[in-house]
Structure 1
Amino acid sequence: MQGQSPKPALPCRNLRPDIEPRVGALTDDLPKRRCESLRVAIGNEVRNWRLKRGWRLEELARAAGLSMGAVSRIENGTVSTSLTTLRALSWALGVPISSLLRRSEQQYEAVFKKAGQPIGLRNCPTPAETLGDIEVLSSGIKVEPYLVRLIEQEAHFPTFRHSGMKFLYMLEGAIRYSHGEDHYDLGPGDSLLFEASVLHGPRKLLRGPALYLSIISARP
């Protein structure tokens, strides 16, 4: 109506005030996470090349003109590496700088197995079906998943000892599994996580046939 001042506009309200800060936080943190991944990838390459040469940490440090602490921090991915330092490390190791950056630039692929798809058999003492080796390059960890079937009791099941960690998840049946001096009875839904450098393996088939998932995680 004429002669009346317009009503003030209603103030805008953010119906979800929690959304914007979260999105901003994730966006701001993305470069930091990528930088950390790059440091870890370079560190793993430096360590891998050093081990291929059969060198101790101090030997690489001396050859590159760096302190042991500096090389240790680089290999552990806790510090960013300058181009000058990368050049010194590559010269000491006898490899081009690109070799130290290779894993940071590599694209990773997933390993997908469709239900019912044939699974390759791994030549090992127990009937184990490999689900595919996955090397997580950004962290230098190799993951080996297996499906293990135990159909009948054997006089002596094989035992294992290797580097890394192992995770077991029982799917069917029941077994007794040993880890060092300890024994564990596993049924469907039970799991076991342990250091694989300790002697371990199935000891007894309690209820067969048994099927369990075995995942080995270790540095290659």
Structure 2
Amino acid sequence: MTNHARDDADAAIDPDGGTAAGDAAAVAGKLEQVIAAQVRHYRTAGGLSSAELAARTGLSKAMISRVETATTSCSLTTLQRLADGLNVPVTALFRGADTDRDATFTKAGQGSLTVRSGTQHGHEYRVLGTLKGRTDALEPTLVTLTDASDVFPLFQHPGTEFIYMLSGKMVYGHGAYEYTMEAGDSLLLDGEGPHGPLELLDLPIRFLAVSAR
């Protein structure tokens, strides 16, 4: 092998011991397997034979077989024909292709304590999880009220909020309305309206506040 040829070969090898072409082939192979499984799933769920799906899509029976055995790469046109023949959106054929998604697991009694305007009045706010980089993510917060107080800060924020009572009893305000809430009660509200506890009737009080912005 000449030095030039050796340099070209070395350039194709990444630091982890693989090659760019090999990595691309692995990704493509995984995608083909996902499409194969989804096409087979929707075809059998719809009670269609390979011949019937072929007739619906204008593809050959042999092509349907190659798709379902992941031995061919589908063009966008073929994917659209398959989706139309199966009566599903094209995106349904890719379900399961991207399984690397964020999740947050929080053990009982854990979570991040945050300081808010009610902290100085005996209110505890424990955030139970967040997803990084998501502007539309939910923010679940466990709120615990342990001290009787005559001062109750009100909150306003974009989006919506869901309140679910776990224990205790309180009067919760939203705008001009008041709601007496106890364990098992819930309230869905527009976050733009001033909201928060107005009267603590039975301590300690614990409720889950889930906001979506």
TM superposition score normalised by structure 2: 0.52
Give distance in 2, aligned partners of 1:205 and 1:170.
13
Do structure 1's residue 31 and structure 2's residue 31 form an aligned pair?
Answer: no
Give distance in 1, aligned partners of 2:155 and 2:112.
21
Question: Percent of aligned pairs with the same residue?
Answer: 31
Q: Deviations over 1:22-73 (max 9, x none)?
A: 587xx843633478x9xxxxxxxxxxxxxxxxxxxxxxxxxxxxxxxxxxxx
Checking the alignment, whether the CA contact within 8 Å between 1:142 and 1:217 is kept in structure 2 is yes
Give distance in 2, aligned partners of 1:213 and 1:23.
45
Aligned 1:89-128 pairs, distance under 5 A: 107-116=100-109, 118-126=110-118, 127-128=124-125
| Structure 2 unmatched ranges of 5 or more | 1-42, 49-82, 119-123
Q: How many pairs align?
A: 127
Aligned match for 1:195, one of 190, 204, 212: 190
Give distance in 2, aligned partners of 1:216 and 1:34.
32
Give distance in 2, aligned partners of 1:22 and 1:194.
41
> What is the deviation of 1:20?
3.7
| Structure 1 unmatched ranges of 5 or more | 1-18, 38-104
Q: 1:155 to 1:179 in 2, by over 3 A?
A: same
Corresponding residue SS for 2:91: helix
Alpha-carbon RMSD across the aligned residues, in angstroms, is: 2.9
Query: Which one has a bigger Cα radius of gyration?
Result: 2
Aligned 1:46-57 pairs, distance under 5 A: none
TM superposition score normalised by structure 1: 0.51
Give distance in 2, aligned partners of 1:128 and 1:156.
16
Aligned 1:36-185 pairs, distance under 5 A: 107-116=100-109, 118-126=110-118, 127-134=124-131, 137=134, 140-185=135-180
Corresponding residue for 1:21? Answer: 45
Give distance in 2, aligned partners of 1:198 and 1:34.
42
Give distance in 2, aligned partners of 1:122 and 1:199.
20
Give distance in 1, aligned partners of 2:209 and 2:133.
18
Corresponding residue for 1:67? Answer: none
Q: 1:21 to 1:202 in 2, by over 3 A?
A: same
Corresponding residue SS for 1:163: coil
